[in-house]
Structure 1
Amino acid sequence: MGQTVVLTGMVLNVMPIGDYDKRITILTMERGKITAFARGARRPNSQLLAATNPFSFGEFELFEGRSSYTVAKAAISNYFRELTNDFDVAYYGFYFLEFADYYCQENNDEKEMLKLLYQSLRALESPSFDNRLVRLIFELKAMSINGEGPNVFSCLACRKKENLHYFSIERGGTVCDDCARKEQAIHIEESTCYTMQYIISAKISKLYTFAVTEQVLMQLQMIMKKYIKRYLSHTFKSLKIIEESESFLEK
């Protein structure tokens, strides 16, 4: 069947195959995103039943074939059960998995995305963090890691680094007070700009260490919604449910 490899990663999605098998997508530290078959994983007595569910993080021992992998064993260190037990929080988690699945590629260095995904799911499990902020941090950092984040460190019109109180969706970043007169730009607070700068530049381990005011949160939500719509041509199924839930809570 081929040689055996041990990869560290997280299950992004699962698809049933036949009567008892699964096809799973794993984001791994060593080989990026891979697809593997888990034979008999849907049987009630299978040792792979829980290990091949979304969010499962740990070490996967796989047989490497010519064109696919087959799961032999798994040692899961975190199932994120607290997350999956809360319906509302779980959809944020599924959205993060979808986001990672969209961006990540096979045989690509996806260590930063795997770290971001893991830390973001841990933040969702913590009652200390507002899930709306966790989502915004994840979106902005993920897009930045993949080279599609906005430029918020200088004016995209004149390159000045001061008075960055406007954000241009068209230009994909900040513009200064002077240049904003000629742009279709959104006025933002200095704290909003600073927050975006911090998220983009900070190490992943330092991301979930702060809170923001409701005003900053609302501005970030508006910016990221418009930015993602403009620069990311993909529809996430779980995002629609999240947005419907947030709209209901705002009423």
Structure 2
Amino acid sequence: MPYIVTNGIVLRETETKDADKILTLLTAERGKISVIARGARRRRCKYAACAQSLAWSEWSLTQRGEWYYANEGSTLELFDGLRTDLAAMALGFYFAELTEAVTNQDEGAPELLRHLLNGLYALSALRKPPPLTKPAFELKLLCLAGYEPLADSCAYCGRTDPEHPMLDVVQGVLRCGRCGAEESALSMPLCRDSLAALRHIVYGDPKRLYSFTLGADALRRLSGAAEAFAAAQLERGFRTLDFYKSLQPLDLPSK
């Protein structure tokens, strides 16, 4: 059968019998594909480095029905900066799991792939703070996947500067604190700065996605809104997110 040469990043790896792995790869042309990597757990395997989570590599594959089989692999980027920082690594795994949740099997996903690679690069090479990178990645990923929130004005009264702004994470709209309160199933509070950051993420230049700063309180509001929005829109939780959050220091009340 003819070889298929493609670049892909490992979203997830599953160990199987013997020394094999099943890899979930994200590619630009074919979207999410399942790859059987025989012998990938053996030390002498020629593509062992490619068959680890978050490895970005060039692959030579053979397709048989719904499955792809690995023939050769060559690493392009391992994001070494993540592998020396447990919190950044955990966040990278969450980015991968979240991306997997919004991608389809055998359906091209160049924008989603680019967004994931940029997010990992921001953490690994640019050393962007994980607490800032996380909400920006979550919100922009959901926008690219078709869940873009309406954040230009209050969905009820039309004010561009909502009074006590709230993000309705179920309906995906911005509202004033009093507007639509009875109709909202779940809304997360914002402030002037966190709302500005939200609009920067949703409507701004993707190349400057992580180019903003926020105070601690505004960042907590943005992060809470982004996380709740992702959970509400995708109707699920994420094991990797739970692990990342378990690594964060507890916010102790001040005396």
TM-score normalised by length of structure 1 = 0.90
The verdict on how the C-alpha distance between 1:13 and 1:229 changes in structure 2, with shifts beyond 3 A counting, is: closer
Write the letter of the residue equivalent to 1:40.
G
Give the CA deviation at 1:183. Answer: 6.6
Give the CA deviation at 1:100. Answer: 0.9
Give the CA deviation at 1:18. Answer: 1.4
Say whether the 8 Å CA contact 1:92–1:238 is kept in structure 2.
yes
Say whether the 8 Å CA contact 2:25–2:33 is kept in structure 1.
yes
The verdict on how the C-alpha distance between 1:178 and 1:162 changes in structure 2, with shifts beyond 3 A counting, is: farther
Give the CA deviation at 1:29. Answer: 0.8
Write the letter of the residue equivalent to 2:146.
G
Say whether the 8 Å CA contact 1:14–1:52 is kept in structure 2.
yes
Name 2:117's counterpart in structure 1. 118
Tell me the alpha carbon deviations over residues 202-249 of structure 1, each in whole angstroms, 9 at most, x when there is no partner.
Answer: 343221222222122011022223323332222211111222222x34
Give unpaired runs (5+ residues) of structure 2. Answer: none
Deviates more, 1:121-130 or 1:173-182: 173-182
Give the CA deviation at 1:140. Answer: 0.5
Say whether the 8 Å CA contact 1:8–1:30 is kept in structure 2.
no
The verdict on how the C-alpha distance between 1:192 and 1:6 changes in structure 2, with shifts beyond 3 A counting, is: same
Name 1:172's counterpart in structure 2. 172
Give the CA deviation at 1:178. Answer: 7.1
Aligned counterparts of 2:179 and 2:235: Cα–Cα separation in 1: 28
Give the CA deviation at 1:55. Answer: 0.8
Name 1:191's counterpart in structure 2. 193
Aligned counterparts of 2:238 and 2:148: Cα–Cα separation in 1: 18
Name 1:156's counterpart in structure 2. 155
The verdict on how the C-alpha distance between 1:154 and 1:108 changes in structure 2, with shifts beyond 3 A counting, is: farther
Give the CA deviation at 1:186. Answer: 5.0
Aligned counterparts of 2:204 and 2:217: Cα–Cα separation in 1: 22
Name 1:250's counterpart in structure 2. 251
Aligned counterparts of 1:172 and 1:218: Cα–Cα separation in 2: 19
Say whether the 8 Å CA contact 2:139–2:230 is kept in structure 1.
no
Name 2:69's counterpart in structure 1. 70
The verdict on how the C-alpha distance between 1:230 and 1:66 changes in structure 2, with shifts beyond 3 A counting, is: closer
Q: How many equivalent residue pairs?
A: 248
Deviates more, 1:198-207 or 1:60-69: 198-207
Give the CA deviation at 1:182. Answer: 6.6
Say whether the 8 Å CA contact 1:119–1:205 is kept in structure 2.
no
Write the letter of the residue equivalent to 1:56.
A
Say whether the 8 Å CA contact 1:155–1:176 is kept in structure 2.
yes
Name 2:207's counterpart in structure 1. 205
The verdict on how the C-alpha distance between 1:59 and 1:126 changes in structure 2, with shifts beyond 3 A counting, is: closer
Task: Write the mapping of 1:1-251 to structure 2, written as runs, cut at 5 A.
Answer: 2-126=1-125, 128-158=127-157, 160-165=158-163, 166-169=165-168, 170-176=170-176, 179=179, 186-246=188-248, 248-251=249-252
Say whether the 8 Å CA contact 1:13–1:26 is kept in structure 2.
yes
Aligned counterparts of 1:23 and 1:186: Cα–Cα separation in 2: 39
Give the CA deviation at 1:146. Answer: 1.1
SS at match of 2:49: coil
Say whether the 8 Å CA contact 1:10–1:27 is kept in structure 2.
yes
Aligned counterparts of 1:101 and 1:37: Cα–Cα separation in 2: 17
The verdict on how the C-alpha distance between 1:23 and 1:182 changes in structure 2, with shifts beyond 3 A counting, is: closer
- Identical residues among aligned pairs (%): 25
The verdict on how the C-alpha distance between 1:11 and 1:152 changes in structure 2, with shifts beyond 3 A counting, is: same
Aligned counterparts of 1:142 and 1:241: Cα–Cα separation in 2: 20
Say whether the 8 Å CA contact 1:124–1:134 is kept in structure 2.
yes
Write the letter of the residue equivalent to 1:219.
R
Say whether the 8 Å CA contact 2:27–2:108 is kept in structure 1.
no
RMSD between aligned alpha carbons?
A: 2.1
Give the CA deviation at 1:154. Answer: 2.2
Give unpaired runs (5+ residues) of structure 1. Answer: none
Deviates more, 1:93-102 or 1:232-241: 232-241
